[in-house]
Chain A
Amino acid sequence: MGKEVIGMDYVIEMLDVSKKFGNFYANDHITLQLKKGEIHALLGENGAGKSTLMNVLFGLYQPDGGEIRVRGEHVAITDPNVANDLGIGMVHQHFMLVENLTVTENIILGSEPTKSGMINIKDSAKKVAEISKMYGLDVDPYAKIEDISVGMQQRVEILKTLYRGADILIFDEPTASLTPQEIDELLNIMKKLVAEGKSIILITHKLAEIMNVSDKVTVIRKGKGIGTVITSETNPEELATLMVGRQVTFKTEKGPSHPTEEVLKIENLQVNDYRGVAKLKGLNLSVRRGEIVGIAGIDGNGQSELIEAITGLTKVKSGKIFINDEDVTNKKTRKITETGIGHIPQDRHKHGLILDFSVAYNTALQSYYHEPLSKGGIMNYKVINERAEELIKEYDVRTQGTHELARALSGGNQQKLIIGREILRNPDLLIAALPTRGLDVGAIEFIHRRLIEQRDSGKAVLLITFELDEVMNVSDRIAVIYDGTIVGTVIPQETTEQALGLMMAGHSKDVAEKKVLAAEKDGDEQHVE
C-alpha cells in the first residue's frame, strides 16, 4: 500500500491534494495516480469526499493544496473547459441530456458543427455511429433520448465525452440507476474502453463492481486518503473494512423469526395503471407480526402498484386489503397511515422528502398534525426541532443541523432521515421499498439492522427490493412477484438464487426447483439462466 514512484506512465497524478470548505477538510492530502490504460476505482462511503476530489480534477473546484499533473506535466485546471482540453471527460451520475432531442443532437449540443450556417447533423451522426461501433456502445444516433432506456442514456453520456476527444474518463457512480443486466453491459464497455487505450477513474461504493472491473483501488474515508491497493491482491471484506474503518458484516446477523398474528392481508388484489392496463392481476399476500416478508421480482412486475394500493396512493379495481383486520381498501392515505403503516418510499426524492424543506420540517411530514407538533392549527416548530435533533442523533443522520435543507444531505443520510421518521412512528407494518438503493455498505448494514430490530420487536415488515442478496439476507419469507401476481413463496434457507431467478422470470416454484435440480445433475449451473 506504499506510495508508488512517480513515473512518466501516469496520465493523471493528484498528489497530496487538499480542498477545504470553511474549516472543514473535504479532501485532506489525498493522492491518486492513474496509469494509462487502467481502471482505477475511487472507493469511499457517501460523503467521504469522492465527488469533491473529482470536481477538483474536473476544474469545478480549486484545490487548496497539492499538485495535479496530467501526462507528467503540472497543470492548473481552472475550469471544466481546461479539463476538456486536457482530454478529461466526466460521465455524471445524473445525466445531462435533453429529453426531446436525438442522441446526436445531444452529443453536439454546445459545439454544433455548421455547414454554411446550417447544423450539419448528418456528418455528426456518422461520427457518433463510428465511435459507438468502435467501443460497442450500440447507440442509434437518431433515437430520441426520451425513447431509450436508462442504460442507453448513460452510453450516450459516454459517447459525448468520447466525441469530444476525452481519453481519460471519470465515471461518477455510474451504476446507481441501472438494472443488473445494464450494469454488466456497462462494465464490459469500460473494459473495452481501456483495451482501446483509454484510462478510467471509477467512483463507486459498490464492491462487486470494483472487484469485477478495476485494476487498482484508492480508498478514501472522511476526506482522508487511506491508501491504494491492487484489486487482484485484495477482497471485498478488506475493501469494506478500509472504506468504513471497521469490520462490516455482509451477511446480516439475525435470529429465527417468531411470527404471530396477521397484520397485512391482501386478497385477490387487482389494480390498473392510469392508462387502464392491468398491473396487479389477483394478488394475494399476508404479512404477520414478527416477520420480514421480502417481495422479490424484476422491476415493473407490479411492485409499485402494490405499494401504492396498500398506502392508498392509487385506486384498487377489485380485491381487499386488510390491516389489523380493518378493511382499508381505497381508503385515504392519511386514514391508512393512521391504522399503523410506516412507508419508506422507493423514490426518496419524489415521495419521501420535500427537498426544499429543512431537515426538521421533513421529520414532521408524517406527524405534523398530531399534538404536540401542532395544536389548534398552529405549528409548534420548537417541539419539531427538538424531535428532529433526537432523530438525527439516533439515526446518525449527518447534517449541519436541523435547519439545513434536505436537498443538501447525501443520499444515505436522506434515507436514514426517512427511515428514522417512519420507524419512530412505531408502525405495526413497515413497508420498505428499495430501502438501500444507491447506499454504501455501511449504510446498508445500518438499515438492515433497523429492519430486523423492527421485526424482533413484534412488528411486521414488508420489504420490496430488486437486489437478490438483500431479499435472501434480510427476509424470513420471500414472495416472488411476476406479472402482477405472486408466483410462489419460499423460505430463503430452503431455496437458491437460481431457483429465485427462475421464479422471477415467471416459473412456478415447483418448475423452478426441478430445473435447478436438473441443472445441478448436469453439473453445469450456467445453463439454467
Chain B
Amino acid sequence: MNSMSNRMINILVPMISIFLGLLVGAIVMLISDYNPITGYMALWNGIFGDSYAIGETIRQISPYLLAGLAVAFAFRTGLFNIGVEGQLIVGWFAAAYVGMAFDLPKIIHLPFALIAAAAAGALWGLVPGILKATLKVHEVIVTIMMNYIALHVVNALIKTLSGGGFKLERIHESASLRSEFLSNLTDYSTLHYGIFVALAMVVVMWFILEKTKTGFELKSVGYNDNAASYAGMSANKNIILAMVISGAFAGLGGAMEALGTFGNMSSMGGFTGIGFDGIAVALLGANTPLGVIFGATLFGSLKYGANNMPNEAGIPVEIVSIIIALVIFFVACGYIIRVGLIRLRNKKEAK
C-alpha cells in the first residue's frame, strides 16, 4: 500500500494550493509584462531574505494570529464576529492610553496595558453579544456598526487627548513589548515579544475549547443550540461569553500594535484591515487553534513580503495585491484540491 494517507493529503493540500496561486500569479505578471521569477525572488527575499526580513515577518504575524483566534473562537460557538476590526482598534487605543498615561514598574505596567486592551476588546464584543442573546439582533449587523463606532470614537479621543493633534504620546518604556534582544537577533527589526503573547493565546484558545467545561458548553451551543438548551445549558449566556472572549483576543491584537510595533496610536483615516483579514485567517485554519497559526503565518508572510516586490522587482502595488489575493483564493479553495486528491487515491486503490 503506497497510496496517500490522510495525513499526507492534509499536508499536500495547502502546498498545492499555494503553488497554484503562485502559478496563476505568475501568469498575471507575464501578461502585464513583468518577470515572474524576479517578482517571486523579491517576494521570497521580502519574507526570508535576511534576518531582518524574517523578524519583520514574524512581527507582522502576531496581530493576524490574534485576529484569527478572535474570529475562530466566535465561529466555534456559531457566531460570526465581523467586529474584530473594531475590537482591535479599541484594544489598540486602550493599550496605548494605559502605556502613555501611567508610569508604573514594568511588571505591573505591561500586564496592565495588555489587560486593558483585552478588556476594551471584550467590552466591544459584549455589546453585540448581549443584543444577540436578549433581543435576537444579528451579530453581523451589530459588529459591523461597532467597527465604525470604534473607529470614530477612538479618533475623537485621540484628538481630545492630544490637544487637537493626530497622535497620542509614545508609551512609557515600562509598558513596551519591544525587545532589544529580539531586535538585535534580527538585525534591528521591530520584532517584539508580542509573538509570544499571541502564541500563548493560541494555547489558551485550545485549552478553553478542548479542556474546560466552558469550552464544552460553547461548542455544544455552537453545534446545536436546541440540544444545548435541552441539556440545561444557557445558550444566551454562552453567546455573550463567546463574544466577550473573542473580543478580548481581538483587543490583544490591538495591543500588539500599540505596545510593540508602533508604540503609540495615530488617528486613522480608515480601518487597519487586520480584523477583516482575521476572518480569512480563521477560515483558512478551519477555526482550529493550530490552523490559525498556519493561516496567520501565510497572511503575515505574504503581507509583509509583498512590500518588497515593488522595491526590488518594480511590480506595481496593484499587481502585488492581485497575486496575494490569488494565493489566498486558492488556499481557500483547498476543498476542491482535497476532493481531487482523494479521488486520485481511490482510483489508485481501485487498481
Q: Please measure, in the bound complex, the distance between the C-alpha atom of A374 and the C-alpha atom of B231, giving whole angstroms.
A: 16
Q: Please measure, in the bound complex, the distance between the C-alpha atom of A361 and the C-alpha atom of B227, giving whole angstroms.
A: 12
Interface positions, chain A 408-426, Cβ under 8 Å from B, are none
| Across-interface contacts of B213 in A (CB, < 8 A) | 368-369, 374, 377-379
Distance (whole angstroms) from the CB of A219 to the closest CB of chain B: 31
Interface positions, chain B 227-241, Cβ under 8 Å from A, are 227-234
Interface positions, chain B 90-114, Cβ under 8 Å from A, are none
Once the chains bind, are B230 and A333 in contact (CB under 8 Å)? yes
Once the chains bind, are A354 and B224 in contact (CB under 8 Å)? yes
Q: How many residues of A contact B (CB 8 A)?
A: 27
Once the chains bind, are B211 and A378 in contact (CB under 8 Å)? yes
| Across-interface contacts of B226 in A (CB, < 8 A) | 350-351
| Across-interface contacts of A374 in B (CB, < 8 A) | 213, 216
Q: Please measure, in the bound complex, the distance between the C-alpha atom of A469 and the C-alpha atom of B229, giving whole angstroms.
A: 32
B10 contacts partner chain A, Cβ-Cβ < 8 Å: no
Q: How many residues of B contact A (CB 8 A)?
A: 19
| Across-interface contacts of B211 in A (CB, < 8 A) | 378-379
Task: Identify A354's interface contact among B214, B215, B228, CB under 8 A.
Answer: B228
Contact with A along B325-348 (1 / 0, CB 8 A): 000000000000000000000000
Find the B residue at minimum CB distance from A334.
B232
Q: Please measure, in the bound complex, the distance between the C-alpha atom of A322 and the C-alpha atom of B234, giving whole angstroms.
A: 23
Using known A-B contacts A313-B229, A333-B232, determine if residue A357 contacts B223 with beta carbons closer than 8 Å: yes
Q: Please measure, in the bound complex, the distance between the C-alpha atom of A377 and the C-alpha atom of B218, giving whole angstroms.
A: 13
Once the chains bind, are B220 and A354 in contact (CB under 8 Å)? yes
B272 contacts partner chain A, Cβ-Cβ < 8 Å: no
Q: Please measure, in the bound complex, the distance between the C-alpha atom of A495 and the C-alpha atom of B143, giving whole angstroms.
A: 61
Task: Identify A351's interface contact among B215, B216, B230, CB under 8 A.
Answer: B230
| Across-interface contacts of B233 in A (CB, < 8 A) | 334
Task: Identify A352's interface contact among B212, B214, B230, CB under 8 A.
Answer: B230
Once the chains bind, are B224 and A337 in contact (CB under 8 Å)? no
Distance (whole angstroms) from the CB of A400 to the closest CB of chain B: 16
A355 contacts partner chain B, Cβ-Cβ < 8 Å: yes
Contact with A along B199-224 (1 / 0, CB 8 A): 00000000000011111100110011
Distance (whole angstroms) from the CB of B315 to the closest CB of chain A: 43
Query: Of residues A311, A354, A364, A377, which shows the largest number of chain B Cβ atoms within 10 Å of its Cβ?
Result: A354
A459 contacts partner chain B, Cβ-Cβ < 8 Å: no
| Across-interface contacts of B229 in A (CB, < 8 A) | 313, 333
Distance (whole angstroms) from the CB of B204 to the closest CB of chain A: 14
Find the B residue at minimum CB distance from A351.
B230
Task: Identify B231's interface contact among A366, A377, A378, CB under 8 A.
Answer: A366
Using known A-B contacts A313-B229, A313-B230, determine if residue A355 contacts B224 with beta carbons closer than 8 Å: yes
| Across-interface contacts of A361 in B (CB, < 8 A) | 216
Contact with A along B225-267 (1 / 0, CB 8 A): 0111111111000000000000000000000000000000000
| Across-interface contacts of B231 in A (CB, < 8 A) | 333, 365-366
Distance (whole angstroms) from the CB of B43 to the closest CB of chain A: 39
Chain B's interface: helix, strand, loop or mixed, by majority?
helix
Query: Of residues B215, B224, B230, which shows the largest number of chain A Cβ atoms within 10 Å of its Cβ?
Result: B230
A497 contacts partner chain B, Cβ-Cβ < 8 Å: no
Find the B residue at minimum CB distance from A364.
B216
Find the A residue at minimum CB distance from B231.
A365
| Across-interface contacts of B234 in A (CB, < 8 A) | 332
Distance (whole angstroms) from the CB of A36 to the closest CB of chain B: 34
Once the chains bind, are A345 and B230 in contact (CB under 8 Å)? yes
| Across-interface contacts of A335 in B (CB, < 8 A) | 232
Contact with B along A315-358 (1 / 0, CB 8 A): 00000000000000000111101000001010000111111110
| Across-interface contacts of A377 in B (CB, < 8 A) | 212-214
Once the chains bind, are A379 and B212 in contact (CB under 8 Å)? yes
Q: Please measure, in the bound complex, the distance between the C-alpha atom of A377 and the C-alpha atom of B223, giving whole angstroms.
A: 20
Contact with B along A277-313 (1 / 0, CB 8 A): 0000000000000000000000000000000000101
Using known A-B contacts A361-B216, A377-B213, determine if residue A337 contacts B232 with beta carbons closer than 8 Å: yes
Interface positions, chain B 167-225, Cβ under 8 Å from A, are 211-216, 219-220, 223-224
Find the A residue at minimum CB distance from B232.
A334
Find the B residue at minimum CB distance from A345.
B230
Q: Please measure, in the bound complex, the distance between the C-alpha atom of A363 and the C-alpha atom of B250, giving whole angstroms.
A: 34
Q: Please measure, in the bound complex, the distance between the C-alpha atom of A514 and the C-alpha atom of B215, giving whole angstroms.
A: 60
Distance (whole angstroms) from the CB of B249 to the closest CB of chain A: 19
Q: Please measure, in the bound complex, the distance between the C-alpha atom of A396 and the C-alpha atom of B226, giving whole angstroms.
A: 26
Interface positions, chain A 52-109, Cβ under 8 Å from B, are none
Find the B residue at minimum CB distance from A333.
B232
Once the chains bind, are A353 and B232 in contact (CB under 8 Å)? no
Q: Please measure, in the bound complex, the distance between the C-alpha atom of A299 and the C-alpha atom of B135, giving whole angstroms.
A: 31
Once the chains bind, are A378 and B227 in contact (CB under 8 Å)? no
Q: Please measure, in the bound complex, the distance between the C-alpha atom of A369 and the C-alpha atom of B231, giving whole angstroms.
A: 11
Once the chains bind, are B212 and A378 in contact (CB under 8 Å)? yes
Using known A-B contacts A357-B220, A374-B213, A379-B212, determine if residue A350 contacts B227 with beta carbons closer than 8 Å: yes
Distance (whole angstroms) from the CB of B238 to the closest CB of chain A: 13
Distance (whole angstroms) from the CB of A310 to the closest CB of chain B: 12
B-side residues, CB < 8 A to A, are: 211-216, 219-220, 223-224, 226-234
20 contacts between A and B (CB under 8 A): A311-B230, A313-B229, A335-B232, A337-B232, A350-B224, A350-B226, A351-B226, A353-B224, A354-B224, A354-B227, A357-B220, A364-B216, A365-B220, A366-B232, A368-B213, A368-B216, A374-B213, A377-B212, A378-B213, A379-B216
Other than the given A333-B229, A378-B212, A379-B216, 9 more pairs (CB < 8 A) read: A345-B230, A352-B230, A353-B224, A354-B220, A361-B216, A365-B220, A365-B231, A374-B216, A377-B213
